[in-house]
């Protein structure tokens, strides 16, 4: 996995390159928006991390330009500004996620992983969560031993929904919407039953964490 980093501060840039390298990513760093195009022309990237406060052309303009040119490259915005307007603006322009400085490297790595996973799901119809490989086209989940998990229709729907938002809390209501059609009715208790069965089938491959009063979260392990 190759990541393009657009960040003008050498200290930050250097730390991100090293930190993401330990997480298994190859990171190319540039210091301004003008150098982005030549890199994109010659190399395939799975993700770009863009600082908003760049000298010259700023991050907003770069994101807008890339999206206007039809690029589908996943974009993670990193900024020292935390105003809601900036966040909304960046996401409206076509950025995929937004991280406010100062952040911890594991958090950055987790965001990168989630974004790349989402992009892969869209192109390769496949997602990897922890030890679990989720084949979206074949509607099956394969664990690290290569064993296909035997899931009911509803258990699969729950896993698919959680995987699409892995690392984020998915509310019970949203899960209910994901697994039932209009005319069916299902209670919160029924969801709990389905989830506990799914949890048993996943074993060590991935964790479905129940968050009291909020929902469920699929974690790597």
Partner 1 sequence: MMHSAQNPPIESAPRRARSIRGRLFAYLLLPLVLLLVASIWADHKTYVTPLYDAFDRALSHMAVAIAGHLDRGPDGQLHLEKPDFGPPPLHPPHAGPPPDDILNDHDKPPGPFGAHGGPFWRRLFPGARESFLYRVSLPDGRTVLGDEGLPIPPGSNADDFSYGDATYKQLVLRVASYRTQVEGQPVIISVGETVHRRNHAVQRLDTIIGISDGIQLLLVLGLGLFGITVALRPINRLRERITQRQPQSLQPLPLEPVPSEVRPLVQSLNTLLVTVRDAAQAQQHFLTNAAHQLRTPLTGLKAQLEVLASETHDHAQQERIARLYGSVDRLAHTANQLLALARAEPSANSPGDFTRVQLEALIGTVADAMLDRTIARNIDLGAECAPVPVRGVHWLLHELLINLVDNAIRHTPDGGRVTLRCGLHDGAPYLEVEDSGPGIPPPERERVRQRFYRAAGSDGQSSGLGLAIVEEIARSHHARFEILDALEGSGARMRVTFPAGVAQ
* Smaller CB separation from partner 1, 102 or 145: 102
DSSP characters over 132-168: EEEETTTTEEE-TTSPBP---HHHHHHHHHHHHTTTS
Q: State the residues that interact with partner 1 by CB under 8 A.
A: 9-12, 14-16, 18-19, 22, 53, 80-84, 100-107, 168-169, 171, 209, 211-214, 217
| Closer by beta carbon to partner 1, 103 or else 139 | 103
- Of 16 and 30, nearer to partner 1 (C-beta) is 16
Q: How far is the CB of 191 from partner 1 (least distance, A)?
A: 16
d(CA 221, CA 131): 8
Q: How far separated are the first and last CA of the chain, in Å rounded?
A: 21
CB of 11 to partner 1, least distance (A): 3
Q: How far is the CB of 135 from partner 1 (least distance, A)?
A: 27
- 195 touches 210 (CB < 8 A): yes
Q: What share of the chain is helix, strand, coil (3-state, %, to 5)?
A: 45, 20, 35
Of the pair 117, 172, the CB lying nearest partner 1 is at: 172
Return the number of the residue (141 or 166) whose C-beta is nearest partner 1: 166
Number of H helices and E strands in the chain, helices first, is: 8, 10
Q: Which are the contacts of 37, defined by CB distance < 8 A and separation ≥ 6? A: none
Q: From edge to edge, which strands make up the β-sheet containing 132-135?
A: 126-129, 132-135, 140-142
Closest contact distance (angstroms) between CB of 57 and partner 1 is 17
Query: C-beta of 213: minimal distance to partner 1 in Å?
Result: 4
């Amino acid at each position: 996995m190759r990541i393009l980093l657009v960040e003008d501060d050498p200290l930050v840039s250097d730390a991100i390159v090293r930190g993401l390298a330990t997480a298994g990513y190859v990171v190319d760093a540039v210091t301004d928006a003008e150098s982005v195009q030549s890199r994109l022309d010659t190399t395939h990237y799975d993700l770009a991390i863009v600082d908003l406060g760049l000298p010259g052309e700023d991050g907003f303009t770069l994101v807008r330009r890339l999206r206007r040119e039809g690029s589908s490259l996943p974009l993670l915005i990193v900024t020292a500004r935390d105003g809601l307007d900036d966040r909304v603006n960046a996401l409206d322009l076509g950025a995929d996620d937004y991280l406010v400085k100062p952040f911890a490297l594991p958090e950055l790595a987790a965001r990168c992983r989630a974004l790349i996973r989402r992009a892969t799901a869209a192109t390769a119809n496949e997602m990897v969560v922890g030890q679990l490989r989720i084949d979206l086209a074949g509607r099956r989940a394969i664990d690290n031993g290569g064993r296909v998990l035997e899931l009911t229709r509803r258990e699969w729907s729950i896993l698919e929904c959680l995987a699409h938002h892995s690392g984020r809390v998915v509310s019970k209501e949203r899960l209910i919407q994901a697994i039932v059609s209009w005319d069916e009715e299902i209670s919160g208790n029924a969801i709990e039953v389905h989830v506990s069965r799914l949890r048993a089938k996943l074993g060590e491959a991935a964790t479905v964490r129940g968050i009291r009063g909020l929902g469920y979260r699929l974690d790597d392990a």
